[in-house]
Amino acid sequence: QRCSDMTGRIIRGIGGFYYVAVASSGMTEGQPDIYECHARGIFRKDGKKPLVGDYVEIEPVPDEHGLIGRIEGFLPRKNELIRPAVSNVDQAIVVFAIRSPEPSLVLTDSFIIQMMMQDIPVILLFNKKDLADKDYAVSLAEIYGDSGVKAYPVSARDEEDVRMIKGMLDGRTSILAGPSGVGKSTLLNAVCPGASMETGEISKKLKRGKHTTRHSELFAVSEDTYLMDTPGFSAFGVPDMDPEELKVYYREFFPYEGSCRFNGCSHTHEPDCAVRHAVYAGEVNRNRYENYCSLYDELRSRKRYR
């Protein structure tokens, strides 16, 4: 009976259930209703598994214990990420701390590259700006001035910054990534106060099982704003690729491509390299260039030992 179908979104999949968020008529504090849908029997004709982030049609099943539903169909995906496994993502919010912990800007670059490879726009937040002087915070953000990535110094404890971040998230689905200790949970709780509570509920359920693995989960900030925390995301280095491909992810180099003496210049050691000249002339950020060189070396040595 199609007419009773509702459209919702899978926000987590766990223990044989998919949890589907549906905008409710009597929305409590802007929060959607969550329907528990049994995973059994949900297989797409093309053999793909449902993903967190999928928009689905569900049919409510009357039940006195709560909101139960059945997934009846899938809406087309805008995109799907492999790491983390999630669909329909609009942007990645990559968080580092200005200090405590000190940021590794090579790691920052590999995060950015991972996202660029999956065509996901990146916003970079340097959190804990209260721990550094303002000039330093601004200079960190300026490193990315020509990179195509927007970077902002922020503090999770600053109301105005939290408002700005909420504005960035509004109406979009964002994934939140970054090493541990930089303030991701604090930010998540500042923009979405219900988030930690939900996480607690899930871990209680999980403790009855053997393992307490954290699963991908979308937090509904509001009806159309979703945020996904990506635990353990920092463990990955620069994605595997041909070292010669790396420069594609450094937009600052683009104006100089083709002006080097050698075709296929790697911009690392060749004479008359236009990119290196631009670095000396202060036209290309030295920090970004040095990170490029160390990632290039890493990819080269990986290739050698394969």
Q: Which partner, Zn ion, ligand GDP, none, binds residue 184 by CB below 5 to 8 Å per kind? A: ligand GDP
If one asks whether residue 30 binds ligand GDP (CB under 6 A), the answer comes out as: no
Binding partner selected for residue 173 from ligand GDP, Zn ion, none, CB under the kind-specific 5 to 8 Å limit? none
What's the min distance (Å) between Cβ of 303 and Zn ion?
Answer: 19
Q: Looking at beta carbons only, is 97 or 265 nearer to Zn ion?
A: 265
User: 3-state DSSP call for residue 150?
Assistant: strand
Picking from 82, 95, 28, the residue whose alpha carbon sits closest to that of residue 53 is: 82
Among 26-34, 58-66, 151-159, 264-272, the segment contacting ligand GDP (CB under 6 A): 151-159
Asked if 155 interacts with ligand GDP (CB under 6 A), we say yes
Do residues 33 and 69 lie in contact, with contact meaning Cβ atoms separated by under 8 Å? no
Which residues in the 117-136 window bind ligand GDP by CB under 6 A?
Answer: 127-128, 130-131
The answer to whether the bond into 101 is cis (omega within 30° of 0) is: yes
The closest residue (CB) to ligand GDP is 183
155 binds, among Zn ion, ligand GDP, none (CB under 5 to 8 A by kind): ligand GDP
Q: Contact 289/143 with Cβ under 8 angstroms? A: no
Segment 235 to 274, residues that bind Zn ion, using CB under 5 A: 260, 265, 267, 273
Rounded Cα distance between 162 and 171, Å, is: 16
Instruction: State which residue, 182 or 274, has the beta carbon closest to Zn ion.
Output: 274
Per partner kind, with CB cut-offs from 5 to 8 A, the member of Zn ion, ligand GDP, none near residue 176 is none
Would you tell me how many other CB atoms lie within 10 Å of the CB of residue 239? 14
CB of 293 to Zn ion, least distance (A): 12
Strand partners, 123: 93, 150
**For ligand GDP, what does the binding mask look like between residues 163 and 192, x meaning CB under 6 A?**
-----------------xxxxxxx------
Q: Do 101 and 179 touch, CB atoms closer than 8 A?
A: yes
Nearest 10 degrees: CA dihedral of 240, 244, 249, 253? Answer: 160
SS3 state at 235: helix
Considering only CA atoms, which of 111, 178, 144 is closest in space to residue 289?
Answer: 144
Q: Are 168 and 95 contacting, i.e. CB atoms less than 8 angstroms apart? A: no
Q: How far is the CB of 167 from ligand GDP (least distance, A)?
A: 18
How far is Cα of residue 148 from the mean position of the Cα atoms in its chain? 16
Residue 177 binds what, of Zn ion, ligand GDP, none (CB under 5 to 8 Å, by partner type)? none
Is the peptide bond between 76 and the residue preceding it cis, with omega within 30 degrees of 0? no
Residue closer to Zn ion by CB (options 144, 296) is 296
Q: Which is nearer to ligand GDP, 41 or 167 (CB)?
A: 167
Interface with Zn ion, residue 221, by CB under 5 A = no
* Binding site residues, Zn ion, CB under 5 A: 260, 265, 267, 273, 275
